[in-house]
Structure 1
């Protein structure tokens, strides 16, 4: 059975998913879609921003509610992708990572605008990592800002051209998010 990997380029409340599979030297795009990462559309996708104006206990409760919703939605998304890829041995889920560290003190997070963004990013990436684990998949993380440089020694100097060529094969949309998710999935496929 051919192997596959799923890449995600996450945002607050949603992500672009691209799955690639087949031979690691020349994989194909198997799946491409925009997915929702909250199972309740009434909840604030940018929960740390929404929580910043609340008292600490209320903020913590809201963040916990959104975390539960994101984990449930992510599990549904990953399980559905694996089911769609039933002809493949799905090996991994590839995710981004943030260079900034999130303070452990919620009060400090809520007072710092950069930390609000870091917290939201980590919330959705952790939900996806949890979903990968729940499906028996390995979660690997890459810094998307240096992903092409990380991938080049493994996938070849023409990796960017090969990623761009997929647009001609599969058509639009093939924006930066799609390219990042595809490249992360391809790198995971090649290194596992």
Structure 2
């Protein structure tokens, strides 16, 4: 069975998911999805720390905990579904590759809720953590890279000029049609990088 990897780029309440494999040294897209990481796709749930900050302080931890548990369940379901889909195509999922923010570790909940910038960071971290948790639960190894370093790392690792890398990424999604935005391109690129 051939090997495949998933690339993931998180947004508030969802992720771009792209599965690739190397065929003759070049990436081939096997799967492209946009799974939700919240059951009800509303602002309140997609921005859990923003929402928690508007609630009474005693309710905030329970609310965050509930959204985290739901995100973990949905992330697990998405990765498990991708595993099954890839298996039907003759591929074994070997790795989940996740883009990380470049921020520092987050402080405690009261400090997060007191800072708008930390609230944004915490929202993203909650969904990234859910995907890492789900990968582990699915028995799939993980590969992470900071998004701010992704293009530079890829240019050096792939021995491509930035404009050639951009062309290759655009061409990679052309057979799929839209959407093939920066989300899908970066998800594919972190997966590609993990195969080097």
TM-score (ref. length: structure 2): 0.90
Q: Is residue 2:96 matched to residue 1:90?
A: no
Look up the match of 1:29. Answer: 29
Measured in 1, the distance between the counterparts of 2:177 and 2:106 equals 42
CA positional deviation for 1:102: 4.1
Look up the match of 1:6. Answer: 6
Q: Is residue 2:183 matched to residue 1:177?
A: yes
Coordinate RMSD, CA, aligned: 1.6
Unaligned runs of 5+ in 1: none
Measured in 2, the distance between the counterparts of 1:101 and 1:58 equals 26
Measured in 2, the distance between the counterparts of 1:53 and 1:172 equals 37
Q: Deviations over 1:75-134 (max 9, x none)?
A: 000000011000112111111112222433211100101110111111000000011001
Unaligned runs of 5+ in 2: none
CA positional deviation for 1:22: 3.0
Q: Deviations over 1:8-61 (max 9, x none)?
A: 111111111111013372020000111111234466110000011223320011
Runs of 4+ in 1 over 6 A off after TM superposition: none
Q: Secondary structure at the match of 1:136?
A: coil
Q: Residue 113 of structure 2: which of 104, 110, 115 is its match?
A: 110
Aligned residue pairs, count: 190
TM-score (ref. length: structure 1): 0.92
